[in-house]
Structure 1
Amino acid sequence: MTNITPFLMFQDKNAEEAMNFYTSLFKNSEVTSIVRYGPDVPGGDEGTVMLATFTLNGREFKCIDSSIRHQFDFTPSFSIYVDVETEEEIDHLYSKLAEGGMELMALGNHGFSRKFGWVNDKYGVSWQINLP
């Protein structure tokens, strides 16, 4: 079977911090594996994430700390879309993800759902949070 997994490349050596933040926000979420660069593993700074896997509400993601500084980074043209069940949940997630980030669409009723908001978090990852 073919697996399709979202993959996040962090350029500020904060992949582990981001994973821990994300998994703290969603139920049924955890960091499942981390392989780090070490003294005998060339290509990255010792201790940074060479490859990690985590789940958010059971959905698998992979991420790395890039050892190369690229001319591109995360963009809102690709976002993580989250449907929630309660107003309390959308309010909590939106406020936590917006801390230190940037609001792209204010949390509110935009006509296509009861409540919706779009933010870039403090790591640059884009999130659309929806209460259908």
Structure 2
Amino acid sequence: MVSDTFPGNPLEVGTNISLVLECESESEIQHLYETLRENGTTLMELQDTFWGARFAKVKDCFGVHWDLNYTK
């Protein structure tokens, strides 16, 4: 799955695609979140969402945007 930008955010060429990882456990999403943000930037903190999942958005050290999702 890919996604473009959050509503209201400006489009930046080169960062207008997010890769999505569907996780299989809370421990997996926590590990990926910590690893990807280590030398990157947190765009949305790991949190519970209204759609019944834990979700985070991170830009890694290479500038790649990742959407992490774990459906409970």
- TM-score, L = length of structure 2: 0.75
Higher RCO (C-alpha 8 Å, min separation 6)? 2
What stretches of structure 1 move > 3 A for 4+ residues in a row? Answer: none
Question: Whose radius of gyration is greater, 1 or 2?
Answer: 1
Matches of 1:122 and 1:85, distance apart in 2: 24
Equivalent residue in structure 2 for 1:113, among 39, 42, 52: 52
Report the count of equivalent residues. 60
Partner of 1:88, secondary structure, is helix
Contact 1:113 1:130 in 2 (8 A): no
Partner of 1:107, secondary structure, is strand
- TM-score, L = length of structure 1: 0.43
Q: Which runs of 5+ in 1 are unaligned?
A: 1-71
Partner of 2:58, secondary structure, is strand
Q: Which runs of 5+ in 2 are unaligned?
A: 1-11
